[in-house]
Amino acid sequence: MEYLEFIESASLGLCSLATILWMAIGSLSRTTEREIMTQRIIAAICLASAALLFSLHYFGGEIWGSKKIARPFGVIAVMMALASVMNIKGKDVQGEANPHKITKTRKEE
């Protein structure tokens, strides 16, 4: 049963790392190359986490006391991997002002 605890810890750790990187994507993607690299790293982490979560489910492990939650979390991890490689190339999708653009505009004035 020791391997199930390792799989559980590793999958949750990878999910946490992917979440932190997802939240920091604005800081990590100052250039297009860094943005693409960060997106690929997040996707790889999410897919590795999904594989661990699916294996945890099929080996009979449990997360937070539930034997049925690992598979839905694995599906969510796959969806996050797909979402992380969607490249919006700096398009304003939220309708908010971009602080980098504001600073650049002020410097030009």
Q: What is the pLDDT of residues 11-65, one digit of tens each?
A: 888 888 888 888 887 777 777 778 778 888 888 988 899 898 888 888 887 788 7
What domain range includes position 11? 2-108
Helices 2-23 + 32-58 axis angle, to 10? 150
pTM score of the predicted model: 0.70
Q: What is the pLDDT of residues 92-102, one digit of tens each?
A: 444 556 666 77
- The one-letter code for the residue type at 8 is E
Cα 32 to Cα 16: distance, rounded to the nearest angstrom: 24
Is it the case that residue 87 has pLDDT exceeding 70?
Answer: no
Q: What's residue 93's pLDDT?
A: 47
Task: Report, as an integer, the average pLDDT of 64-85.
Answer: 82
- Domain count of the fold of the chain: 1
